[in-house]
Amino acid sequence: MNVLVSLSSFIVSEGIKNVLMKNGHEGVAGQNGSAPAGFVPDVVLVDITSIKENVSARYPASKILLVDTGVEKEKIVQALLSYQIHGVLSVETEVPLFNKALQVVADGQIWVDNNTLKAFLRQGTSAPAALRGDGVTEREREIIDLVCRGCTNREIATSLSLSEHTIKAHLNRIFRKCNASSRSKLITLMMHQNSSVRTSV
């Protein structure tokens, strides 16, 4: 897997690059979102500062993983709403979870670090009406929970003993009820609105 590390801190970028190389990834610590000629990243790691450098436009086929270096959660929410981001990862994430996050994002799924998600859920804002009342079923809440944990449709289907086709149908209904156009928008809504979604420890 090719990973472009494009963080505003050179030292942090170099540290992540070394972790990548030790775990079999081809990692490049880029400056200003640039990579060597011919290097096409599967995933680009950015932070709240470097994401403003329009990295996604330079690598439209790449997935963008935002590294939360400890900024205010409101800034993370705004970034999720303003940019095409495929995941949020805490800088304190342990290496096994870091590798899993990279793979999940590279596979086209969404990853949100549990600590980041929990921080949003503790903010105490109200849930949207569709999530407070009978609009969303218990089964749909279970699926929302698993989506927020970064599970693929196949993993959700296995966990709930359902077919992938059924999971897709549920997700389409959830998107309509929550006025969300994608998994990333759904997760953003959950983080921003303090839904009843549970998170794993």
Could you tell me if residue 118 is inside a domain? no
Q: What are phi and psi of 65, to 5 degrees?
A: -115, 115
How far apart CA 173 and CA 104 sit, in angstroms, is 23
Q: What is the CATH classification number for the domain harbouring 149?
A: 1.10.10.10
Per-residue pLDDT 10s for the chain (201 aa) are: 889 998 888 888 888 888 888 888 877 877 666 677 888 889 999 999 888 887 778 888 899 999 988 887 778 777 776 788 888 888 888 888 888 889 888 988 888 776 666 655 554 444 444 444 447 888 988 898 888 777 889 999 999 999 999 999 999 988 888 877 778 778 777 765 543 333 333
Query: Does residue 76 sit in the same domain as residue 21?
Result: yes
From residue 146, alpha-carbon distances to 20, 21, 85 in Å are 27, 30, 19
What pLDDT score was predicted for residue 33? 62
Query: Does residue 96 sit in the same domain as residue 162?
Result: no
Q: What is the CATH classification number for the domain harbouring 43?
A: 3.40.50.2300
Domain range for 74 = 2-108
The two beta strands, 26-29 and 43-46, are: unpaired
Query: Does residue 90 sit in the same domain as residue 26?
Result: yes
Query: Does residue 91 sit in the same domain as residue 135?
Result: no
When divided into structural domains, the chain yields a total of: 2
Query: Does residue 96 sit in the same domain as residue 141?
Result: no
Could you tell me if residue 34 is inside a domain? yes
Domain termination residue (choose one: 77, 108, 139):
108
